[in-house]
Chains A and B, each alone.
Chain A
Amino acid sequence: MKMADEASKGGSGLEFHPMDQFIVKPLFGGDAVNFYTPTNVTLWMALTVLAVAALLVFGTRGRAIVPSRAQSVAELTYGFVYKMIEDVVGKDGLKYFPYIMTLFMFILFANFLGLIPMSFTTTSHIAVTAVLAGAVFITVTAIGFIKNGAGFLKLFWVDAAPLPLRPVLAIIEVISYFVRPVSHSIRLAGNLMAGHAVIKVFAGFAAVAAIAPLSVLAVVAIYGLEVLVSAIQAYVFTILTCVYLKDALHPHH
């Protein structure tokens, strides 16, 4: 009987659907979502920007020689991104530091704010990460053509390979160049969405009394893993941006 009830609901037998957390809802009632509707995505993106601004503006306002906790965190993130660009792109990449720092801080804070229970993970939506990755792709391609002119196309013409192989390699290089924004965006969104869905699946198991303690332990463990994944994915997104920028500034292999 119970089985039949569950089957008639068409559900998977869990108390709630693990993907329900990703539904975009308007904040002030109603169902219609237009481009101007304030939704939970808008709210959590605004909170992300506020959190970044609070850390970087108010944290460093004291300009103390012996930094406070907030100031040292702000200085650490600044130095971290600065050194990353210096190592991967080189000195001439530092001109683009503001953009890369913005990307890093936004993704990092969006990921961490998404881990707060009952919150919304904006970076788990491909729509959000596709805009970020698409902006990087367009920016980097434009920089490549502006800095090198037609010489940017040398990126696809591998001089190190034997001559007969070069056209084949050129096709592969062009394909891999245009797959970049796809993998760049899906990596971030997929990691975040998969992690949060797994947490919800284990949370759904907690409704069954026999395995409840196990599932609570599993949720705690996966939550810890997700904290790690949040930071690593922000780092990976940023460092891939740096790699693409390096290709645009120095297209010679």
Chain B
Amino acid sequence: MEGDIANMGQFIGAGLAAIGSGTAAIGVGHVAGNFLAGALRNPSAAGGQTATLFIGIAFAEALGIFAFLVALLLMFAV
């Protein structure tokens, strides 16, 4: 019975950590959407900024990956 409760806690914790992936999706969408909004106003400047776009996406995404890692650790390592 005690093991069941511990298992349940693992699964609930992993599910809660997965919410973090969703919030990272919001962040990535924000970066890409704002880039597109800026690029449509000044298309000639957009080409030079794709590197900045990808760096921004990478930083926003890293935090979602951390949440995913926490979920994985709870499921398989704890």
A residues whose Cβ falls under 8 Å from a Cβ of B: 19, 84, 87-88, 183, 186-187, 190-191, 194, 232, 235-236, 239-240, 243
Contacts and interface: CB of A to CB of B under 8 A. Distances in A.
Interface residues of B, number: 13
Interface of B: 48, 51, 54-55, 57-58, 61-62, 65-66, 68-69, 76
Contacts of B51: 84, 87-88, 239
Given A187-B58, A191-B61, A240-B55, 9 more contacts: A87-B51, A183-B62, A186-B62, A186-B69, A187-B65, A190-B65, A194-B68, A232-B54, A235-B54
14 contacts: A87-B51, A186-B65, A186-B66, A186-B69, A190-B65, A190-B68, A232-B54, A236-B54, A236-B55, A236-B58, A239-B51, A239-B54, A239-B55, A239-B58
Nearest to A19: B76
Interface residue SS majority, chain A:
helix
B39 to A, nearest CB: 17
A172 to B, nearest CB: 15
A204 B72 CA distance: 19
Contacts of A235: 54
Contacts of A183: 62, 65-66
A230 to B, nearest CB: 14
Given A19-B76, A194-B68, A187 B54 contact: no
Contacts of A87: 48, 51
Contacts of A19: 76
A19 B76 CA distance: 10
A129 B52 CA distance: 23
Given A19-B76, A194-B68, A187 B55 contact: no
Given A19-B76, A183-B62, A190 B55 contact: no
